[in-house]
Amino acid sequence: MDNKLMRTVWGLIVRPTQVIKAYLDGNRVRYIGPLSYLIVMSAIFILTFEVAGVSPREFLEATSEKLQPQSVTGNAEVSENQKAFMENYMQRISENMRLMTGALIPFFALSMLIFYRGRNFLQNFLLVTYATSELIWLSIISIIVFATLQIPIQVYLTIPSLIYLLWIFAGLNPQKNKIWTWLKAFFTWVVGYALFMVAIFIAGITYFILFVFER
């Protein structure tokens, strides 16, 4: 198990498309499966918070302030309901960080189904799960950096995360033209992320309405 895990971690760093192709082609001996890998990485991710002595909420709030220095809670014009909602919403997310690690997977899988032929949704789901699980290492690094230096670097890791996903999308779906290969991979990422944001928006609005009625 340890050998398979280390082989999977290293393989997804240096030759991710080969690892994913091998698994989809039926080679289940050399590498740990994508769902098992996601579970392992999610556990390590949560454990890192405990070991580093950082709460998920503290980490999320620091990252949010980096993205939006004038946060909603710091705006005097914002109503008490909105402030309470944001605090409650942030708490809910921090309590479900394990689930959030794989939140993007179905949306990228759906986007791949739209842009590429030859694989079904389940196959796309599994290959995106591999990629997403590997990217959790970047989040783990950002937690450690935040715990030691109090610097939220998560926002800066968006670019390497994007490049890694594009590398996998393009490598698994080569086109006749190299430029079109990378453009199509980028469009796949954009649409997948847009679908995710729409889902988050709808969930946020629904949660806000229910929160207001409860109060």
Percentages helix, strand, coil for the chain, rounded to the nearest 5? 80, 0, 20
Nearest alpha-carbon partner for 165 in 28, 18, 42, 17: 17
The predicted pLDDT at position 214 comes to 63
- Whether residue 63 has pLDDT greater than 80: no
Tokens 């189904």 locate to 113
Q: Which residue has the higher pLDDT, 155 or 213?
A: 155
For the segment 1-11, the average pLDDT, to the nearest whole number, is 86
What is the pTM for the complete model shown? 0.82
User: DSSP character for 118?
Assistant: S
DSSP of 24-82: HTT--SSS--HHHHHHHHHHHHHHHHHHHT--HHHHHHHHHHHH-SS-GGG-TTS-HHH
The predicted pLDDT at position 132 comes to 94
Q: Positive or negative CA dihedral for 30, 14, 132, 128?
A: negative
146-193 pLDDT tens trace: 999 888 888 888 899 999 999 999 999 999 999 999 999 999 999 999
